Amino acid sequence: MKKTPDKKIEIKVPPKLFKETQELINTISKNLNGDFMSYWVSSNSRIVGDDSIAFYEVLNGAKKKDTLYLYIKSDGGSGEASLRIVNLLRKYYKKIIAYVPLDCASAATMLVLGADKIMMGPLAYLSSIDTSITHDLSPIDKDNDRVSVSQNELSRVIKLWNSNKQLGDKNPYSDIYAHIHPLVIGSVDRATSLSIKLTTDILSYHMSDLTKAEEISGILNSNYPSHSYPITINEALKIGLKVEEIDGLTNNRLLELNQLYSEMAQLAYTDYDQLNYHDNEILKIVEGLNMKLFYQKDKDLHYRTEERRWVPLNDNSSWRKIISNGLETMETSFYIR
């Protein structure tokens, strides 16, 4: 039976830092010939389709210039969501410049491929975008969680078997199927085809040479031995991407902005006892001039020992919106279903 938490326990609340981030965004914007927007995703979260609605809310509330400077920091997520965001941004802007001062991996790499130019700092990297999925029939790890399976991993198993098979060896799939369900393998193959198409479609928003777009897509989906292989500016140039270095001053200001967002996204756990705690962590931020949207957890978690897993209770997690008219600031809930 779940223990009722002590009412005297004070729930940890992370800072919103609206004034601080707005001041920095204003400073960055003054040196640009276009609009500036941030899209910052915690390492504990991922890019999803609903994020495009948060983008729409910020875009609708701002004056538009022809060019958007988009600061992106994320470890990845949904490729379909990246396509939706690129499509939305292209409805508002003729030209998009992506600012990448830090990690921009997987689906985030897909997202910046929709920009006319990618500006990268000394700490910046993109990554390969080979797809891995967590299927309902995926294998289970020691924590009773479903593990992801990638096409690259499956292909390497078959390749190793073919290169080391002995006379009389049977087809490797009989052994593979003992650990990975056939439907999972089929879903992974389908997801890989989807990833290649998504990448090509995103590039086509600003590349008229579809053959070149397909070539870049193929490289990013299959040419790297690791999903997390860091594609730095030199490697990005070899691939054929239009990339340049961020000037030192702008890069430092973007890193300052990252520090503020990281402070907002600090772990905000409040322990009730060994089996119960409250989570108030901020997971992602979309911000432009005079408006900030962020997604914040707000839920209790209870550990079911017999199932070896954490289950959420009293979940009030949601997007929140902070807006300013220059005189006052107001925070409200922003509901997305």
pLDDT interval class at 69 (50, 70, 90): very high
Say yes or no to pLDDT of 63 above 80.
no
Of the chain, the end-to-end C-alpha distance in Å amounts to 31
Say yes or no to pLDDT of 236 above 80.
yes
Cα 55 to Cα 286: distance, rounded to the nearest angstrom: 7
pLDDT digits (tens, 9 = 90+) for 245-277: 999 999 999 999 999 999 999 999 999 999 999
Contact 101, 124 (CB under 8 A): yes
pLDDT digits (tens, 9 = 90+) for 103-124: 999 889 999 999 999 999 999 9
Cα 135 to Cα 141: distance, rounded to the nearest angstrom: 13
Higher pLDDT, 115 or 139: 115
CATH 3.90.226 occupies which residues in the chain? Answer: 18-128+224-334
Give just the sign of the alpha carbon dihedral 199, 194, 220, 148. positive
| DSSP secondary structure letters along 122-150 | TT-BB-----EE--TTS-B-TTS-BPPEE
Q: Considering the chain, what is the average pLDDT of its residues?
A: 86
CB atoms inside a 10 Å sphere around CB 300: 19
Say yes or no to pLDDT of 219 above 70.
yes
pLDDT digits (tens, 9 = 90+) for 5-53: 556 788 899 999 999 999 999 999 998 999 999 999 999 999 999 999 9
Say yes or no to pLDDT of 186 above 90.
no
Say yes or no to pLDDT of 135 above 60.
no
pLDDT value at position 263? 96
pLDDT value at position 1? 47
CATH number of 18-128+224-334: 3.90.226
Say yes or no to pLDDT of 100 above 90.
yes
Q: What is the mean pLDDT of residues 332-337?
A: 86
Q: What is the mean pLDDT of residues 78-99?
A: 93
